[in-house]
Each structure stands twice: as structure tokens, then as C-alpha cells.
Amino acid sequence: MSKNTNITKSDVLNSSPVALKSLVALGPMAPREFKTGSVGYYATGKVTLMVGGKPCSFQVGGNLIVCGTKAGSKKAVPADKVAEFLASGPKTLEQLGLGEARALPKDFSTGSVGYRYDGKTALEGLTLQVGLNIIAVDSKEWGKAEEQKEAEAKASAKSRLEAMLA
């Protein structure tokens, strides 16, 4: 996994959306049952993507939830469909119909930057709600470094101005 050097928050935020098919390193995701009682897929892993022509490491995490599988759902999926889904085996993002979908650049509330995809897809007569976070590794620290450089530049400019006025 590459170190994220010489990449800034603005590089990521001003970059093009990321095609989900570029997350192929995640491999197939197995169906699972979540603590809530819903079923779907869970994606997690690390990938390297190009940002401004430079490699950048990202941590990916996401849920693909089959709508109507949570206990007490108003539009409940029949139990036999849920069992069939769970037995269907692992699927890639492309097999889930998300290969051409694009995640948009995002400045997360945590201070990290990366990409976010929210949407829906259909598979075998079921609707899946999709949420994927693709977060640049260590990007929270980039902001601190950028703020420090900016503060130092302002302090230096102030010192020069004070020296000229003295």
C-alpha cells in the first residue's frame, strides 16, 4: 500500500468522481445478516487509486442492504427470498450492477477526505440501498498540515510587514 505523500485535500476534492469498478481489489462480498436483522453485503478493504496522477491509499467501507429485510418492515421481503439471497454466494460490485456508478469527492465531517456513493441497485428482484465511503488514508492529518503551513505563511507575512513598517 502506498504512502499518501504529496497529495492534499484539495487534490482529492477537486478530482473526478471515482468509478466503483476501480474498487476491484475489494473482491467479491459475501451475503450477511446484520445486527439489525437486515441482510445484504458489507464491503471493507484497502485500495490504491490515482489522484492527480499520483497513487493514493484508501480505506473502503460500505453497506449494501436489501430493502425490506429488517424485522417489522412495512414492505417485507418474503422469507424464502431472503433465504435464497443468503444462499446466492459472493458478488462483486460489478455483479451487483454498480460497475458504472461513480462516487463523488467528499469532505467528511471527521476531517478526512475521499469519496462517497449513495444509491440503489436491483438484483434478482430485490432492491439494495447502497452506501460506500472511500476515505484517503491519513487524510485527516493532511488538513492539520495544510492549516499549519497556512498559519506559518500568515505569520511570516505579518513579520515582514512589521519589519517594513518599523
* Predicted confidence (pLDDT) per residue in 46-60, tens digit: 999 999 889 999 999
Residue 132 reports pLDDT greater than 80:
yes
Distance CA 97, CA 89 (A): 16
* HEC readout, the chain: CCCCCCCCHHHHHCCCCEEHHHHHHHCCECEEECCCCCEEEEEEEEEEEEECCEEEEEEEEEEEEECCCCCCCCCCCCHHHHHHHHHCCCECCCCCCCCCCEEEEEECCCCCEEEEEEEEEEECCEEEEEEEEEEECCHHHHHHHHHHHHHHHHHHHHHHHHHHHC
CA distance 99 to 19: 7
86-130 per-position pLDDT tens digit: 888 888 888 888 888 999 999 999 999 999 999 999 888 889 999
- pTM reported for the whole predicted model: 0.81
Mean pLDDT, rounded, for 127-143: 89
Mean pLDDT of 124-151: 81
Q: Where are the domains of the chain?
A: 10-137
